[in-house]
Every structure is written in structure tokens, then in C-alpha cells.
Amino acid sequence: MIIVLQKDATENHLREIVNRIKDYNLEPHVIVGVARTVIGLVGDKNGLEPSFFEGLPGVEKAVPIMAPYKLASRDAKGEDTIIQIGKVAIGGDQLVYMAGPCAVESREQILETAYAVRAAGASILRGGAFKPRTSPYSFQGLGEEGLEYLAEAGEVAGMLTVSEVINPSDVELVSRYVDILQIGARNMQNFSLLRQVGHMRKPVLLKRGLSATIEEWLMAAEYIMSEGNYQVILCERGIRTFETATRNTLDVGAIALARRLSHLPVIADPSHATGRCELVGPAGCAAVAAGAQGLMVEVHPNPDVALSDGAQSLTPRQFAQMVEAVGRVAEAVAPQATDRWPERNVI
């Protein structure tokens, strides 16, 4: 159940309502929106009726949420969540680009990439330091040294940073260096990792699992939010299908559906979705046309010698061309309000 507060509800009202929720042995999650504050109730709600709360001062309504994910649900919060980090807003009207190499390989490599992708329009620098490689013999990343280079490059290029964390015990460490914590596809259902990043007060980029349903993906977001971290960015990065000509299959419909089912920002990663540099631009255009509010793209100064994912990495020049093409698509489809595409029963 969620409780929607009146627009003019006061701090005192909020406190009283929270106390009442605790009296029922439930955990209140206060989510402050631009237009309204809502409180999500987590715990055993057996026998609890909306009417228990509807009479309280400051309460507009109490609504049961049918979806298994509660805090992530669009029913809990009608307005889009915008995650503001410094000057960058993720989930707003402006497309956000997160770009950089699959893995940080050296100080020079990440610095060169940072300047190039920044010039092309990216505001967030990506780079893996702890790599979840399929083979134990492949390059595993530079670890903390990689995070140091990433942080320095972000700083000098004036960009935010994002990097993957694969171990619950590394969450604190990675948090010290980056602005956004990335949970990779292979770890989408690593529940202790999800809970650990849920304890942080730092935005989390949550990739969809290789074979995860949309509901499982949103339940993974719920794990993070249930620990009190509401700053979750959903990232569609392709799913595993029978097709082998592409690395994965970009699930464009999932982007449009996630925008409907959840208030959280949704972005796409056309690099891992396709695995082929010549498909990254077209897939990025399709993702944005479907409602993606940003793109994560792998860019390497010299993809031929990349230590990981060279085949799908764009050169800085290709990335700049892609940003231009995607920008034209974004202009053509804006605004992406879901009410442009009503469900049949509301036409």
C-alpha cells in the first residue's frame, strides 16, 4: 500500500503518519517527489485497510499496490523520478550519455577517452575496474588503480563517473571513487549485493539480467529501494535469445514497458545489446525512440587493441556521429509521455 500526501501536508502531518505506520509494525519509505510526497508501506499488511490512514490529517489517499514491486511501481509514484547528480539530471527531458571504455586499461587511455566523449556530449564517464568476465583467464580489470584513474579523468574532464561493483565487500570502496554504482547483468539477482548498494546513498545503475523477465528486473530494483536507496536507474542491455548473430537481443519493448510500469529512469546499453560496433548507433536510435532517457555506450580510442569488448566499442568519432543521429531521433519523438500511447481501455 502507498499513502499519497496532500500537496500542503506539513512535516508534522508526515511525522504523525509515519508514527501510525510504525504502530502497525510496518516500515515506512518516504519518497519525496517534486509534486507530492508518498509513503510506501513495507511489511505484513494482513488485514490493513486504506481507511486506517485515509482519515489522518495530511493524507489524500491510501492505495493498495497490486504489482509485486511496490516502491518501484508507477502506481506508487505517478511522476517520473529524476535523479539529479550535480548538474546532470537523469530521467528528465534531456538525454544523458554515459560513455567510455568497457574497462579502464591505463591512465592515458581513460583520460583520452574522457576528453573525447565529453566533447561529443557525454556527461558521465564509464569504465570498468572490476570486470565480471566469462573466462577467468580474461583481463579482470585494474581494480582500485582503475578506479583512481577513472575518478581523475572524470574530475579533469568535468564528468560524473560510473563503474561496476561485483562484490558486496567492495561496495564501500567503489563508492569512494564513483558517482554512480553499476550492478551488472550477471549480478542482477545477487541479492546481498543489491541490499548492500541499497544501504548506500548513491545512485545505482541496475542492468537487466541476461535472462531476466521485466518483473524480475523491477523486483531487483525493489531490493535496492527497500533498503532506503530510491535512486535506481534501470538499464536494458539486451537479453539472451536463440539469436547468435548479435551478442544479445535488444528488448525495445521492455524499454517502453518499464517506462510505464515504473517511475524510475530507464536507459539502454546498445553496446552489450548488439556486440557489434556497426549496430550500436541503430540500436541506440531505436532505444531512444522507445523511450530510453539515456544511453550507455562503450567507446575506446583504439577498439582494435581493447582488452575487452573491442568488437562493440565505438571510436570517439563514431560516438560523436551516433550522438548526432540519436539527437535527431529524440527530437522527433519528444515528448515521450506515456499518455501519447494510451492503453486501449482509455482511448
Binding site for Mn ion (CB under 5 A): 102, 309
- Picking from 169, 218, 212, the residue whose alpha carbon sits closest to that of residue 192 is 169
Task: Note whether 300 binds ligand PEP by CB under 6 A.
Answer: no
Taking CB under 6 A as the criterion, the residue among 28, 91, 141, 184 binding ligand PEP is: 184
Rounded distance between C-alpha atoms, residue 44 and residue 234, angstroms: 27
Cross-strand partners of 223 = none
Task: Note whether 74 binds ligand PEP by CB under 6 A.
Answer: no
Task: Note whether 211 binds ligand PEP by CB under 6 A.
Answer: no
Interaction residues for ligand PEP, span 263-292 (CB under 6 A): 269, 272
- Among residues 39 and 162, whose Cβ is nearest to ligand PEP? 162
Taking CB under 6 A as the criterion, the residue among 29, 74, 77, 237 binding ligand PEP is: 237
Rounded distance between C-alpha atoms, residue 273 and residue 251, angstroms: 8
Spatial contact of 15 and 27, defined as CB atoms under 8 Å apart: no
Question: Could you say which of ligand PEP, Mn ion, none residue 263 binds, taking C-beta under 5 to 8 angstroms by partner kind?
Answer: none
Q: In the complex, what is the shortest distance from the CB of residue 235 to ligand PEP, in angstroms, rounded to a whole number?
A: 7
Helices 214-226 and 191-199 pack at an angle, to 10 degrees, of 40
Question: Could you say which of ligand PEP, Mn ion, none residue 141 binds, taking C-beta under 5 to 8 angstroms by partner kind?
Answer: none
Q: In 88-143, which residue ranges form alpha helices assigned H by DSSP?
A: 107-120
- Helix and strand numbers (H, E) in the chain are 11, 14
Question: Could you say which of ligand PEP, Mn ion, none residue 237 binds, taking C-beta under 5 to 8 angstroms by partner kind?
Answer: ligand PEP
- Among residues 105 and 309, whose Cβ is nearest to Mn ion? 309
Spatial contact of 257 and 104, defined as CB atoms under 8 Å apart: no
- Among residues 102 and 267, whose Cβ is nearest to Mn ion? 102
- Among residues 179 and 269, whose Cβ is nearest to ligand PEP? 269
Task: Note whether 207 binds ligand PEP by CB under 6 A.
Answer: yes
Using CB under 6 A as the criterion, what x/- string covers residues 89-108 for binding ligand PEP?
A: -------------x------
Task: Note whether 205 binds ligand PEP by CB under 6 A.
Answer: no
Q: In the complex, what is the shortest distance from the CB of residue 211 to ligand PEP, in angstroms, rounded to a whole number?
A: 12
Contacts 24+ apart (CB under 8 A), 288-292: 288/95, 288/326, 288/329, 288/330, 288/333, 289/329, 289/332, 289/333, 290/252, 290/253, 290/255, 290/256, 291/255, 291/256, 291/259, 291/266, 291/336, 291/338, 292/236, 292/255, 292/266, 292/267, 292/268
Cross-strand partners of 181 = 163, 204
Cell numbers representing residue 60 in the block: 489524500
Q: Is 125 helix (H, G, I), strand (E, B) or coil?
A: strand
Q: In the complex, what is the shortest distance from the CB of residue 146 to ligand PEP, in angstroms, rounded to a whole number?
A: 12
Q: Taking the CA atoms of the chain, what radius of gyration do you get in angstroms?
A: 21
Residues binding ligand PEP: number (CB under 6 A): 10
Q: In the complex, what is the shortest distance from the CB of residue 152 to ligand PEP, in angstroms, rounded to a whole number?
A: 20
Residue ranges that bind ligand PEP, judged by CB under 6 A: 102, 128, 132, 184-186, 207, 237, 269, 272
